[in-house]
Structures are given as structure tokens and as C-alpha cells.
Structure 1
């Protein structure tokens, strides 16, 4: 946790997945700048592991930036490096243009919210939130006033006298946020803070967290392995794989135009067509992907191919009901298996498994993967 104070950055974040136009063009200095950041664990020649491998990244002022990736991809290590809990093996970390690569956590004007919240069980909520201000030497009356304001901001002012054990999981998460924000850090780091919540509460907190970030204008760096969280909340997303950044972009860019097979498969469901299929269909040897919602099942089995549309015959292998739609899995002629997101108005037949169908898509919906040529 940081041990210095600062004023809140100016400006607010735009809607999730969209850049906020007026803020970033005028600001040459990013909130966080990473250059050739590397972190190696273990002794050289004795099980050495490169957890972070030459990461270059600029995170804008007032941005909600998510670091997304599977376990072991390096995202949490990058967060810990920014926080100062780990020191880089090589490379630099800048906070608003100042090199903080070798500084201790309390010398960096950042704060961290962890998944377990780390609240003091014997303290009231107001004392929990005021603790960071107390460490900084702020007077009792002023720090209590600031703590009450922070609790009001997260809609917990009426519970200020309660202990953490008297709160729900979502309420404890808000207290942890209030405690981190009350010291007005330049950057707030969030290490999978919603991971312990149930699905409904997690979805509610995603919206509340984004609204809070937008109203404060503070730079949020959010670590998650949950693609829905990242897509819902972020101005931009960095997808990590094997210690490297596989792609950086808005939610729309990451989902609609993945730049590689890993991103296409990790973020959402993708249908990957190999080079043999691509050559047969389009005369190109590169792989391409199609999202399930871009495909159409023709239950009558009639070939729908015409200019700008490709259609292939296939056989239904399974159906998975997902509430708002049904995932129809089809084995296409030639061996490629695809998932089609279809509506729930399926043919009224006893079983659709084994039924001969056709699957079509618009050719311009195919996303070609340059790294898999």
C-alpha cells in the first residue's frame, strides 16, 4: 500500500471498450509506462523461469486497463512489479514519467486491492478505511471525515460502525476499495478483486466498479482471467500469454479482430479453420477464425453459397442450451468442427443430433491470423 498522497488525476474514463477522446491526445506522459520489462525467477541454469518477458506497455491517464490471461501468463507478476512487491530483473517502470523501478511499495503513489480484501477484523469500517491516513500522520478528525466520505462514495456510509464480519462479500469488497481510494493514489491496482464473489454479485460489482472509476477519473489496472469481466469493464485490454503481451486493444478490437490463434481461442469461442481448409475455400494458406454468432445453420441442409457467402454441408454432433441461445456443434465436410450460436427456435424434431445441415457465413466475417501463415 502506498504511503504518499496526491490529488486526483483530472478527467474521466469513457464507456467500457471505447477511448475517451479529449483526454489522451493532450497527454504525452502515460500514467504507467513499462519498457522491456522482464522478471525471472530461479537461478540461471537451475530451473530458471521467465515470468515476464520483455513487456512494453503504456497505460493512459484515467484509463480502465485490464490485464487478461490464463494462470501463469505473467499478468499478476506485472501487477506486482508495478506495485513494487517484486523488483524487475531488467527493464523500467515509470509512474507519470518518473522511474520507480527500484523503489519500495510505499515510495510509489499506487494502491492495491487484493482478492481476499485484507480488512482488519477488529476494526470498524470507518477505522479500516481511515487506517492508511492514520499511517500518513493525518489528524483524527480529518481522517475520519475523509473515511466517511469514502464509505459514502461506495454506498456504505450507514454501516460505518460495523465490523467486516457483519458484511456480505460484496460489501467487504467495497470497503477494500474505499480504503484504497481514500489516500487518493495516482493508480489503483486490482488483483482479481471479484474472484471470490458469486456470479450475480460479481456482475453487479463489475458495473459498480466501472461507474466508480469513471466518476473518480483514477487510472485502474485490473488483473483477471475472466474474459467477460475484461470485456465488460475495460477501456483497453492487454492479453497475456507466456509472459508476453499477445495483443492490446479495445474490447471490440480484441473480440472482433484477434491477431493470433491464442487470443481468438482465449477471448470468447472461436472456430479455427486450418491452412488446408483455408486453401480449399479461399486459396490462402493462412488460418482464419469465425465467431459462433457469425455462422448460420440451415436446418433444411440446402447449400446457401452465393457471392460473398460460403456454405458447407455438415452433421450436427451435439447441442448445448445456454439460456439466451443454443450452441449447435457441427462436423463440417472436410473434418472441421464448428460451434454455431443459434436461436432457441429449433426445428421441432425428437433429436437433432445426427441431422444433415448446412453452415454458412459471410466471407468478410473471416478473421485471418497473420501469425499462423
Structure 2
């Protein structure tokens, strides 16, 4: 689904003034377990919003609540300003794509995609036309008569997308749909999904535990932890300015330095973080100006584009630096070697107290 493959006669329509989805005090309990804990969230019309978090963080439960597969214990779910909290799934103008694409193996791609239209009572000619258009949109227009078993994993994922989009939902929910794909195909599909969403203008809500997926595709990200949302923001805001140690550690790798170091360097009693790629590491003796902290190198990990160097400070704190692989670099560090790390003060992110 390259830009050239998608004609710019877009079906994008003017987005409503209010949010596509509004969650107000949304909670869900399963017995004694609280899966979702008083979540408040607004998802804008026409945006690609990702719910990011580890397993058990509540993100998938929130998606199922929006879809209507679960009913909330407390709180309100609004779709374009209308309370749909108690409505059945078929009464909500949303559709879902799952990691398990659940295609009918005995049906052709045309029949699979048209199935939802048939259930809705659309006449045969119209549903065939709309199904063909949907498959064309995901670059499978020449495969109308094939069966799912004749397709690759990426192609089956496209069929599932076409089937969800053909009914023209206001909101498309995607529950880790790329999880079963290999790395290269997953990266390709990340770009294609974003291009498709931009062309259609439909609100996409994407659930993932993969930070790269969320950073690559999203307009905004909600980071979930223990049934609550830790932070909502653009990918840049989430990565560059995490609001706490959980977000700093979960979204990318971050060095969390203790308040004792902050007191000696900056005269304040707060923890702070610095991303590994923002740290400069030099062999002893230190050269040039700036803050220098002695470390002992404990591990080297070659990543292709960079070398990850781990070191230990005198107080036992572990620090990680990412050293780009460039001409003339390499072999500067060895396990057990003393080194000096430093950073620019503008790369410091101050963290709230831990409770």
C-alpha cells in the first residue's frame, strides 16, 4: 500500500467537532481483580491512537469495552458524544481486527470481505462491488477468488483489514494485529497501516505491547500500567519527556539516576533520566569540558548500527550508553575498563518521586 497505490480521491470526510471516543471513569473488575481502574480518555476523530503497555496492563480490556465485548463495571463510553456503554457490539459503529484474523477458510476473499455486508442486508451486487473496492484498497484486487490458505500471513492480515473496513465503521479497533508476523513484514505493515489510516481518515485505535509499533504509527499514545493510564501524548512527548520512571523504562531504554547523584551534580533531590543515545562515553582520561562520571564497563552488545555499552557507577547504579558505529570507532571499550560518561543538561528529564 504505497502512496502511489492509493488514489488521492480520498473518502476522508470532515471530522466531527467532538472526540470520536470519550471514556469517563471507566472501570472493569473480574471478581476481585481490577483490570481497568477509573480511566478517563478522549480519542480524537480521525487520529491514529495507540494503547501501549505490558501484558495485564488493561489496554486490551479497554478495547473490548469500547467494542462492546465486555460491559463496564462503572463509567461511561461515548461514541461521537452518544453513550454506548450498555449497547451490544452490533449496535456500535465500530469494527475490530484481531491478531487471529478468523477468516472463513471455505470462502473466497470476496466472500470473506462481503460477509459483514451480507449480515447487514446489503444486496448482492452492492456488497460484491464494495468488497472488490476494499480488496483493491489493500492491494489484493487481483486475488478475489483465492482462499485464505493460498495467502501469506501479511496478505491474510490485509484481508482482515478489508473485511473490517468494508462496513465503513466510524472507529476501527485493532488488537495487536501484527503480532503473528515476522519482523520484516511487521515493519512493512506498520507503514502500510498508517498510510491506509491517513487515506481513509477513520479513527484507528491500536493495541500493542511493542513500543516501536506505537512510536512508528501513532498520532498519540496512551501508556497503560496496572489498569491505569500513566501518560498520554505524541510519540515525541512520550519518548522525550516521560512523566515517570515506568514510562521512561517501558518506552525505549532509559537510565534512571538516583537523587543522591542529582544532589551532587545539580543540588536537587529528585531522580532523573537520560536516554542512552544522549550519553557520551569516553575512555579515561576524560577529555574536554562537561560533567564526567567515572564508570567501569561491564558489558558490550553489538547492535549493527551501534554498540550498547553498559557500565557501573561507584554506587552500583547501572548506566547504558549507545555508541554509533562510525568509521574509526570500535574497540575503544573493553569489559573491566574504566571510562567516563557525560551528557548535556538539556537531555536530563526530571522524574517525580517514587511511591
- Which bin holds the TM-score, normalised by the shorter protein? over 0.9
Alpha-carbon distance between aligned partners in 2 of 1:56 and 1:193, rounded to the nearest angstrom: 25
Residue 191 of structure 2 is aligned to residue 207 of structure 1: yes
- Partner in structure 1 of residue 6 of structure 2: none
Unaligned runs of 5+ in 1: 1-7, 12-22, 43-47
**Match 1:157 to one of 135, 141, 145:** 141
**Match 1:36 to one of 12, 18, 25:** 25
Alpha-carbon distance between aligned partners in 1 of 2:205 and 2:325, rounded to the nearest angstrom: 38
Alpha-carbon distance between aligned partners in 2 of 1:164 and 1:134, rounded to the nearest angstrom: 19
The C-alpha deviation readout for 1:56-114, integer Å capped at 9, x for no partner, is 00000000000000000000000000000000000000000000000000000000000
**Match 2:259 to one of 265, 272, 275:** 275
Query: Per the alignment, in what secondary structure is the counterpart of residue 165 of structure 1?
Result: helix
Contact 2:286 2:292 in 1 (8 A): no
- Partner in structure 2 of residue 94 of structure 1: 78
- Partner in structure 2 of residue 370 of structure 1: 352
- Partner in structure 1 of residue 4 of structure 2: none
Residue 166 of structure 2 is aligned to residue 182 of structure 1: yes
- Partner in structure 2 of residue 361 of structure 1: 343
Shift of 1:279: 1.4
- Partner in structure 2 of residue 327 of structure 1: 308
Shift of 1:347: 4.6
**Match 2:324 to one of 338, 343, 358:** 343
Query: Per the alignment, in what secondary structure is the counterpart of residue 29 of structure 2?
Result: strand
Contact 1:303 1:312 in 2 (8 A): no
Query: Per the alignment, in what secondary structure is the counterpart of residue 216 of structure 2?
Result: helix
The C-alpha deviation readout for 1:190-245, integer Å capped at 9, x for no partner, is 00000000000000000000000000000000000000000000000000000000
Residue 110 of structure 2 is aligned to residue 126 of structure 1: yes
Query: Per the alignment, in what secondary structure is the counterpart of residue 186 of structure 2?
Result: helix
Contact 1:313 1:332 in 2 (8 A): yes
**Match 2:282 to one of 265, 284, 298:** 298
Runs of 4+ aligned residues of structure 1 deviating over 4 Å after TM superposition are none
Contact 1:303 1:313 in 2 (8 A): no
Unaligned runs of 5+ in 2: 1-10
- Partner in structure 2 of residue 19 of structure 1: none
Relative to structure 2, which stretch is displaced further, 358-367 or 277-286? 277-286
Query: Per the alignment, in what secondary structure is the counterpart of residue 370 of structure 1?
Result: coil
